[in-house]
Amino acid sequence: MERPPLVAKVVFILGLIFAISPWASPPVALAVGLALGLLSLNPFRAQTKSSTKYLLQASVVLLGFGMNLISVLRAGRSGILYTAVGITATLGMGYALGRIFKVEKVASFLISTGTAICGGSAIAAVAPILGADDEEMSVSLGTVFILNSIALLIFPAVGMSLHLSQQQFGLWAALAIHDTSSVVGAAHKYGEAATVIATTVKLARALWIVPLCIATAAFKHSKAKIQWPWFIFFFVLAAVANSYWHALAPVFRFLYRLGGIGLTATLFLIGAGISPATVKTVGVRPLVQGVVLWAIVAVGTVLLVRAAVIGI
pLDDT digit string, tens, across residues 105-125 = 888 999 999 898 877 777 877
Least confident of 39-53, 66-80, 177-191: 66-80
pLDDT at 250 over 80: yes
The total of structural domains in the chain comes to 1
Res 274 pLDDT > 80: no
User: Structure pTM?
Assistant: 0.69
| 234 lies in some domain | yes
Does the pLDDT at position 73 exceed 70? no
User: What digits encode the pLDDT tens for the residues 133-148?
Assistant: 766 776 777 788 778 8
- The pLDDT, as a whole number, for residue 225 is 62
Residues 6+ apart with CB under 8 A from 298: 151, 176
Q: How far apart are CA 85 and CA 82, in angstroms?
A: 5
Contacts by 240-249, CB closer than 8 A, 24 or more apart: 240/69, 241/65, 242/64, 242/65, 242/66, 242/67, 242/68, 242/69, 243/67, 243/68, 243/69, 243/70, 244/69
Q: Has residue 158 been placed in a domain?
A: yes
Give the per-residue pLDDT at 308. 62
Please check whether residue 268 lies inside any domain of the structure: no
Looking at residue 77, what is its pLDDT?
61
143 within domain boundaries: yes
Domain coverage including residue 284: 47-263+278-306
- Give the distance between the most distant pair of CA atoms in the chain: 58
Position 138 in a domain: yes
Examine the pLDDT at 249 and tell me if it is beyond 80. yes
More confident of the two residues 55 and 309? 55
- Report pLDDT for 204: 74
**What angle in degrees, to the nearest 10, is found between the helix axes of 134-161 and 180-190?**
10
Predicted pLDDT of residue 293: 94
- 111 within some domain: yes
The 10 Å Cβ neighbour count of residue 84 is: 13
* pLDDT value of position 221: 61
Percent of the chain topping pLDDT 70: 86
Average pLDDT over residues 29-52: 81
Convert the pLDDT of each residue in 196-235 to its tens digit.
Answer: 888 878 877 777 877 888 888 777 765 656 666 677 678 7
